[in-house]
């Protein structure tokens, strides 16, 4: 009978189970203290990786929801929306007035020519109305804007801070102890 090499804790050839502790700290000194304590537990810390990380504007922009990455400005979106709504509205009104009889231009022959005129007029007026409403709403919102409370600005400063990331490979049975040590030393985040 052949023994199964996949039993927990068994070592087969070059394969050994390992666990990675990844922690984020504000200062590099805390990382060195973490590595010293882990070494005292028996973890081989010679191959630990330390990386300086910084949250910049590009990283923050990459984490924004996709809706914030629209190719058009709010003014342009409102103008396009107004043009579409205006052209549809003017087309319906123009068709009704054309069929009723009071609105027939002698220079234009037939319904299709009138429809094109109504769509263009509606698009022009709709886009101007959309852009004007956008400007008015932005001016009103700017007048009503209140400064953020101190707690919110502090949170933004915390997100903008840089730090140091450490990754340490260790045996799985030391994972809980290593996590507890990392938390005691004030890790911002821990992945295990």
pTM: 0.41
Measured between its terminal Cα atoms, the distance across the chain in Å is 37
Nearest to 190 by CA among 179, 177, 181: 179
- Name the average pLDDT for the chain: 76
Question: Could you tell me which residue, 45 or 140, shows the higher pLDDT?
Answer: 45
Output the CA–CA distances (angstroms, integers) from residue 16 to 5, 38, 45, 152, 178, in the order listed.
11, 19, 17, 46, 19
> 133 near 74, Cβ under 8 Å?
no
> 168 near 51, Cβ under 8 Å?
no
Kindly report, residue by residue over 58-84, the tens digit of the pLDDT. 555 555 555 555 577 877 888 888 889
User: From CA 87, how far away is CA 128, in angstroms rounded?
Assistant: 12
User: From CA 101, how far away is CA 35, in angstroms rounded?
Assistant: 88
| Mean pLDDT computed over 152-173 | 69
| Mean pLDDT computed over 86-96 | 85
Query: What ranges make up the beta strands (E) of the chain?
Result: 19-25, 49-54, 162-170, 189-191
Which two structure tokens, joined as six digits, stand for 47? 């191959």
Confidence of residue 140 (pLDDT cuts 50, 70, 90): confident
């Amino acid at each position: 009978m052949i023994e199964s090499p996949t039993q927990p804790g068994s070592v087969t050839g070059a394969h050994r189970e390992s666990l990675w502790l990844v922690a984020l700290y504000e200062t590099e000194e805390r990382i060195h203290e973490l590595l010293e304590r882990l070494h005292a537990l028996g973890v081989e810390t010679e191959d630990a990786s330390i990386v300086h990380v910084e949250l910049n504007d590009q990283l923050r922009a990459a984490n924004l929801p996709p809706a914030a990455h629209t190719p058009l400005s709010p003014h342009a979106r409102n103008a396009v929306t107004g043009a579409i709504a205006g052209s549809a509205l003017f087309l319906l009104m123009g068709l009704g007035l054309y069929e009723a009889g009071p609105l027939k231009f002698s220079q234009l022959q037939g319904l299709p020519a009138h429809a094109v005129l109504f769509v263009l007029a509606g698009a022009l007026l709709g886009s101007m109305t959309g852009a004007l409403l956008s400007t008015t709403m932005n001016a009103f919102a700017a007048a009503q804007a209140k400064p953020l409370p101190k707690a919110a600005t502090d949170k933004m400063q915390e997100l903008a801070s840089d730090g140091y990331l450490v990754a340490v490979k260790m045996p799985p049975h030391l994972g809980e102890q290593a996590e507890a040590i990392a938390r005691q030393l004030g890790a911002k985040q821990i992945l295990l």
